[in-house]
């Protein structure tokens, strides 16, 4: 698992000629640290970073809000057809994203959202998996807390805000991590929904180093290293919550 990352790092420090050498060299004969600065000169890499951060934050905040509200309704409220609606929502997980790509593109075109942050963020601010994950966790919180809050005059939103969310930090953190990973690495959706260079994200921008007839592998790998660092740091510092989220996703009640 580590070897591809090591190969990516060493290739990012090679010259173009050495990266194409056969048989390949493991360590660079001449270390080209300037490849990393060349990435920012070749393309507007800083703009790609900013766009990716905006995309990731927008989707993550949206999912934490909307998924938690939907999960609260399914876990704590009683209304007609609740179980049917929940099953229908889960059935969305069986539909590949590529199947609804064209209908979504047509819808966003009519809204005039193509090549905007709205097209990148809004369709990703809700997920059936996130709702399922939080619902499973909310169902484990004792309902006696809800009854005590009602006696004190707390509304349903007050129960959600004052009781459920403060007791659901592990699940919310796990969903946040999953959403960040998915949004940061998303490629197909930003590729289809953006046209201008000013709206490109990291995943799409890095692909520009790969041409039809030649590929600048050192710059490609340098860009990949720079885009991987934030996710790698997040995994190192939040791996406990990530593993907890995986365990939560397997819970059935």
Confidence category of residue 252, pLDDT binned at 50, 70, 90:
very low
> Domain 44-201+220-249 belongs to what topology?
MetI-like fold (1.10.3720)
Q: Residue 243 pLDDT > 80, yes or no?
A: no
- Burial readout 41-78 (b: 16 or more C-beta within 10 A, e: otherwise): eebebebbbebbeebbebbbebbbeebbebbbbbbbee
3-61 residue pLDDT tens: 988 999 999 999 988 888 888 888 888 899 999 999 998 889 999 999 999 999 999 99
d(CA 74, CA 15): 56
Instruction: Quickly count: other Cβ atoms within 10 Å of residue 195's Cβ.
Output: 10
pLDDT digits (tens, 9 = 90+) for 139-197: 989 999 999 999 988 999 999 999 999 999 888 988 998 899 999 999 999 999 998 88
CB atoms within 10 A of CB 252: 4
Our measurement of the distance from residue 188's CA atom to the centroid of its chain's CA atoms, rounded to an integer in Å, reads 13
Q: What is the pLDDT of residues 59-85, one digit of tens each?
A: 999 999 999 999 999 999 999 999 999
Q: How far apart are CA 67 and CA 65, in angstroms?
A: 6
The pLDDT of residue 251 is above 60: no
d(CA 55, CA 190): 10
């Amino acid at each position: 698992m580590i070897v591809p990352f090591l190969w990516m790092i060493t290739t990012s420090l090679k010259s173009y000629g050495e990266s194409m050498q056969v048989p390949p060299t493991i360590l660079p004969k001449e270390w080209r640290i300037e490849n990393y600065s060349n990435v920012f000169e070749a393309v507007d890499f800083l703009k790609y970073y900013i766009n990716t951060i905006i995309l990731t934050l927008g989707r993550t905040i949206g999912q934490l809000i909307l998924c938690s509200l939907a999960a609260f309704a399914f876990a704590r409220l009683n209304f007609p057809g609740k179980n049917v609606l929940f099953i229908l929502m889960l059935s969305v997980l069986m539909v590949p994203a590529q199947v609804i790509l064209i209908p979504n593109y047509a819808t966003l075109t009519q809204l005039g959202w193509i090549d905007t942050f709205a097209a990148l963020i809004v369709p990703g601010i809700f997920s059936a998996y996130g709702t399922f994950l939080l619902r499973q966790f909310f169902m484990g919180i004792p309902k006696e807390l809800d009854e005590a809050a009602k006696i004190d005059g707390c509304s349903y939103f007050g129960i959600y805000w004052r009781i459920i969310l403060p007791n659901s930090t592990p699940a919310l953190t796990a969903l946040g991590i999953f959403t960040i990973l998915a949004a940061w690495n998303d490629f197909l959706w930003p590729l289809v929904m953006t046209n201008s260079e000013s709206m490109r994200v990291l995943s799409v921008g890095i692909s520009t180093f790969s041409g039809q007839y030649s590929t600048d592998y050192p710059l490609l790998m340098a860009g990949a290293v720079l885009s991987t660092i934030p996710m790698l740091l997040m995994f190192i510092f939040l791996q406990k919550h990530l593993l907890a989220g995986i365990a939560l996703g397997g819970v059935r009640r």
